[in-house]
Amino acid sequence: MEQRRPILTLKTGTFFLSPAIFFVILFLIVPFVWIIVVSFTNQSLTGATALNPEFVGLQNYLDLFNFDTWLTRGNFGSSMIITLEFVIGSAWIGQVVLGMGLAIAFYRRKGALREFVNTLVILCWIIPDVVVAFSWSAYLDRDYGTLNAILNLIGLGRPDWQLAFPLFAIILFNSWRGAAFSMLLFSSALATIPPSYLETAEVAGASFWQKQRDIILPLLRGHILTDMVLITLWTFNTFSPFLLTGGGPAFKTEVISIFTYRIAFKFFDFGMGGAIAVVAMVINFALALVYLLMLRKQAVYS
């Protein structure tokens, strides 16, 4: 490509960016720095350490990673494991697989059925959190819920979802809640594949699975990566399961965002809350880094 003069000079570009930069500095960078600083102190809401917090060095981090207790329920390690299961179950398996299944099933199809399913999936995504929480509490209710009514009908009994399988319940919930984003992303990605690729394959007699494996998956690899990073970040930080289970019973659904909330706002231990947030950020950052490296590698090969 020839080097053309860019439409915006660096100066105008920066000017256009300035409102965004203002918001980013005020509401992202400043809180970020605050969290890092506070994580090395014992600041709390009340008491002597509220006004004059003391520098405690790595104490908060050492407490988090106290390997004698950290796997006990309600502690940091246990919460990390729950978060990992939650992310793998609801983001990587639930949302990516569901979203891709929907996108592929409705690819190159038209008509009312496609529109209806599309709209329904997107509605599940845009309905307010609080409403969804009420609706799902009713849905999962042991005695009256729709889910158990159906399971009972086919002879599977009435499991108590929120007591016996709470983690599975929030994984199911979050897959349902977020599948729309992956569906939208993969649908528009599929639309960029030239139809001639698939037509040629069909003429050559390729089966459905061969087409998926040899044409669609390789062309979508970059989109799958993008999708996974975005929804991993969002799932890692989502607070909505709190509205369904409150982190319980017995901390069984206490993902890292709910754990942070409990430490920072129930115990008002801001220092420790900050330390948890810093560890979570480091993990997010590492994930994004792996992703960027994979994208770069892919760009080299293609």
Footprint on residues 195-224 left by another protein (CB under 8 A): 207-208, 222-223
What is the dihedral angle through the alpha carbons of 292, 294, 297, 302, rounded to the nearest 10 degrees? -100
**In the set 83, 245, 253, 260, which binds another protein (CB under 8 A)?**
260
d(CA 140, CA 69): 33
d(CA 235, CA 230): 9
Q: Give the list of residues 6+ apart from residue 68 with CB closer than 8 angstroms, or none.
A: none
- Least distance from C-beta 94 to another protein, angstroms? 11
Residues in region 40-69 near another protein by CB under 8 A: none
Q: Give the list of residues 6+ apart from residue 254 with CB closer than 8 angstroms, or none.
A: 74, 78, 79, 82, 247, 248, 262
- Least distance from C-beta 82 to another protein, angstroms? 16
With contacts defined by CB under 8 A, name the span among 49-57, 63-71, 147-155, 160-168 that binds another protein.
147-155
* Strand, helix or coil for residue 66: coil
d(CA 183, CA 103): 5
d(CA 251, CA 233): 22
- Least distance from C-beta 27 to another protein, angstroms? 3
At 78, list the tokens: 């246990």
- Least distance from C-beta 191 to another protein, angstroms? 8
Angle at 286 between CA 281 and CA 289, to 5 degrees: 125
Query: Taking Cα atoms as reference points, which of 272, 243, 242, 249 lies closest to residue 260?
Result: 272
Q: Using the rule CB under 8 A, is 281 a contact of another protein?
A: yes
Q: Using the rule CB under 8 A, is 267 a contact of another protein?
A: no
Residues in region 169-198 near another protein by CB under 8 A: 176, 179, 184-192
Residues in region 88-107 near another protein by CB under 8 A: 101-102, 105
Q: Which is nearer to another protein, 68 or 160 (CB)?
A: 160
Q: Which is nearer to another protein, 167 or 277 (CB)?
A: 277
Cβ atoms of 39 and 278 closer than 8 Å: yes
What DSSP designation does 194 have? -
Q: Which is nearer to another protein, 67 or 227 (CB)?
A: 227
With contacts defined by CB under 8 A, name the span among 21-29, 50-58, 61-69, 162-170 that binds another protein.
21-29
**In the set 49, 59, 212, 237, which binds another protein (CB under 8 A)?**
237
Residues in region 105-144 near another protein by CB under 8 A: 105, 109, 113, 116-117, 119-124, 126-131, 134-139, 141, 143-144
Q: Using the rule CB under 8 A, is 4 a contact of another protein?
A: yes
